[in-house]
Structure 1
Amino acid sequence: MSRLQFLLSKRWALFFLAVTLLTWLAWELGQWQFDRLEDRRDRNAQIQRNEELDPAPVQEVLSVGRPVDKALEWRLVEATGTYAVEDTVVVRYRTRDGGPGVDAVVPLVLDDGTSLLVDRGWWPTQNRGEVPEDLPDPPTGEVTITGWVRIDATGDAAQVTEQRTRAISSEEIGEALDREVLRGFVDVATEDPEAAEPLERVELPDLDDGPHFFYGLQWWFFGGLAVFGFFYLLFDEWRDRRAASQAAEHAAVDREHDSTEV
C-alpha cells in the first residue's frame, strides 16, 4: 500500500483532477449530442407527418399577430391572392451548391387585405451579397400557391433595410413594408399559373439522423480514453517504483552479504 502513496502528491492530485474534469466534460458533450439526435428525430417525424397531409387553407394555419406553432413548421398550405411585386424583399447571402444567390420574398395579398409572405425561391448572383436587378417576375393576376410553413427568423440578421435582409421575419418585413401580414412565411412549392421564368424552389430538409450519434460516441470514447490513460500511467509509475524498490532491497541484501563475508 505504501507504494501507492505517490498518489497523494500534488502532481498526481492535479492529474486526477484534470482527468476527472475532462471525463465529465466528455460525458456531458456526448450526452448533448445524443439529446440533439433525439431532437432531430422528433423534428424529422414532425416534418414527415406534415409533408404527408393535404394542403390546408393558409388562414387555418397562420394568422396576424400570432407566432407560428413549432409543430406546424413544414405544414403544406394553400393560398390565393395577388403578388405585390413592388414590395419584393431580397434575402441576401443565400447559397446553393456553393454558388452565391438570393431569395425573393413577395407579399401575396389575400382577399381580406392581409398579406402572406411567400419565399418564391432562389436566384443566382455573380457575387455574395449582390442584389440582382434581373429577378424574374412572379405570375400576374390572381395566383394560387401551395407552400411549406416556416417559422420567423430572429436576431440582427432579420432586420430589413431598403427591402433587403439576411433572414426572413414576417414581423420585421411587415413593419418595413407597412403591411398587415400573417405571422411566419411560406416556402413556395407550386404556383398556378406558373411564372414565365420560375425561381429555384426550396430544398426540403434531409430527414436523416445527421452526425450526432457518431459525435456522441466520439466524445464518450475520448472520456474513456482519458480514464484508461490515467490508470495506465498510474500502473506504469507503480511498476517503476516497485522495480526500484526491489532493486534497492536486492542491493541492501548484497551489501549485507558482502559485509558478513568480510
Structure 2
Amino acid sequence: MRSLRFLLSRRWILFALVVVMLTYAAWWLGGWQFRRLDDRKASNEIVRTNEHRQVTPVGEVLTPDGDPTDADEWRVVSASGTYDADSTVLVRYRTRDGAQGVDVVVPLVTADGTALLVDRGWLETDPSGADADVPAPPSGEVEVTGYVRANGTGDSTRVDDLSTRAISSDAIGPAIGRPVYGGFVELRSEDPEPATSLEAVELPELNNGPHFFYGLQWWFFGLLAVFGFFYLLVDEWRNGPASERPPVRRKDKAPRPKSRARLQADAARRQIEAEKAAKKAAQGRPVDQSARSAPPSTGSMAPDTNDAAGESRKAAARPNSSGSP
C-alpha cells in the first residue's frame, strides 16, 4: 500500500474540487425541489380552504387599486352587472388535451362603473385567436360567481388589438379604457345562462407533484459523487495509479464445444465418405486418400458378391499353379 501523499497531486486536488462542486450543486437542487414541495402543499391548502368558503361579494375581496393576495386566490366571489362584449379580450395559445384554442375574457361592468374581468372559459379555435367565432355572453343584467385569480406578470401580459398571452388587470384596464378590479375571476356560474357556453375553467390538481422524488434524486446524485471519489481514492491507495499498473493479460478463450446436432451431422458426413471410398476400392478405382483417412463408421456394409467365389467381381485375381493368371 502507498501513502496518501498522492492526494496532494494536482490531479487529485482538481478531482476533489470538482466532486465538491457537484455535491454542493446536487444538495442545493435537492433542497430547491423540497422547497417547491412545501410551496405546493401550502398552495393546495389555500385552494382547498377557499373553494369551499362562503361566496363573498367581489367588493369585499378585490379592489380597483390593488392585486389580490395569495391567501385570496381561488376564493369564490359574486358580482352583478352587464357584459361589455365589445371589449372582449382573447388570451392566445391556450391548450386543452392537446387541442389549441383561446380563453375569452369579458369585462362585467358593475353598478359603480368598475369592471370585473371575467374569464368566461376556453374556446377551441386558431391558437392566435384570429377570426375566432366567439359566442356572445348573456345580455342585460347578469349575476356571476367566479374564482379569484392573481394577475399574470412579464411581457406576456401586453395587450395588442384586444389580444394577450396572459391576463393582467393592470394591462387590460388601460386597453379597454375602464377602471377594473385588481386581478380577475375564472367563471364558475352565470345567471342567466348563455345560448352557447364555453368550456369551463379547469381547477388545479391538488397533488404534491414530482418534487419529492426529484429532491431525492438530486441528493442521490450527490452521494454517488462522494462514493465514487472515495472508491477511486482507495483503489489508487492500494494498487497505485492505473497508468503504472502492469497490463492485465487476457485468458485465451477455450474453443466452444460442438453441439450435439453438429456432432451427428459430422458423423453422418464421415460415414457417407467412407461408404463411397469402399465402393471405389471394390471396383478397383483410385480412392481419395482423405476418404481413407476418415474414421470408420458405426454401420457395416456387406460386399457385393456372386454365389460362386470364383465369379466374384470384387475379388482380386489369383495366379494358378502354372504361374499364369
**Same fold, judged at TM 0.5 (above):** yes
TM-score (norm 2): 0.73
Please state how far the C-alpha of 1:69 moved relative to its aligned partner. 1.1
Aligned to 2:204: 205
Aligned to 1:80: 80
Q: Higher relative CO (CA 8 A, sep ≥ 6), structure 1 or 2?
A: 1
Amino acid aligned to 1:70: D
Aligned to 1:110: 110
Amino acid aligned to 2:169: S
Is the CA contact 2:50–2:72 (under 8 Å) kept in the aligned structure 1? yes
Cα shift readout 1:168-222 (whole Å, capped 9, x = no counterpart)? 0001000011101011000001111111111011111111000000000000000
Partners of 1:188 and 1:244 in 2: CA distance? 71
SS of 1:52 mapped into structure 2 = coil
User: What is the aligned-residue RMSD (CA, Å)?
Assistant: 1.8
Partners of 2:98 and 2:134 in 1: CA distance? 20
Please state how far the C-alpha of 1:131 moved relative to its aligned partner. 2.5
Aligned to 1:129: 128
Aligned to 1:51: 51
Please state how far the C-alpha of 1:20 moved relative to its aligned partner. 0.5
Is the CA contact 2:236–2:242 (under 8 Å) kept in the aligned structure 1? no
Is the CA contact 1:3–1:242 (under 8 Å) kept in the aligned structure 2? no
Correspondence 1:67 to 2:56: no
Aligned to 1:220: 219
Is the CA contact 2:90–2:163 (under 8 Å) kept in the aligned structure 1? yes
Correspondence 1:40 to 2:46: no
Aligned to 2:228: 229
Correspondence 1:23 to 2:26: no
Amino acid aligned to 2:61: V
Is the CA contact 2:51–2:75 (under 8 Å) kept in the aligned structure 1? yes
Partners of 2:186 and 2:71 in 1: CA distance? 16
Correspondence 1:165 to 2:128: no
Partners of 1:98 and 1:244 in 2: CA distance? 56
- Structure 1 runs of 4+ with >6 Å offset: 242-245
Q: Which moves more between the two structures, 206-215 or 62-71?
A: 62-71
Please state how far the C-alpha of 1:103 moved relative to its aligned partner. 0.5
Aligned to 1:259: none
Is the CA contact 1:90–1:104 (under 8 Å) kept in the aligned structure 2? yes
Structure with more of its chain in strand, by fraction: 1
Which has the higher Rg, Structure 1 or Structure 2?
Answer: 2
Q: Percent identity?
A: 58
User: Structure 1 pair 173/243, CA: closer, same or farther in 2 (3 Å)?
Assistant: closer
Partners of 1:130 and 1:200 in 2: CA distance? 16
User: Structure 1 pair 244/198, CA: closer, same or farther in 2 (3 Å)?
Assistant: closer
Correspondence 1:120 to 2:120: yes
Cα shift readout 1:15-68 (whole Å, capped 9, x = no counterpart)? 000001100110000000000000110000011110110110011101111121
Cα shift readout 1:67-97 (whole Å, capped 9, x = no counterpart)? 2111101111111111000000011011101
- Which ranges of structure 2 fall in alignment gaps of 5 or more residues? 247-325
Amino acid aligned to 1:141: G
Q: Which moves more between the two structures, 215-224 or 191-200?
A: 191-200
TM-score (norm 1): 0.90
Partners of 2:131 and 2:243 in 1: CA distance? 78
Is the CA contact 2:77–2:146 (under 8 Å) kept in the aligned structure 1? yes
Please state how far the C-alpha of 1:2 moved relative to its aligned partner. 5.2
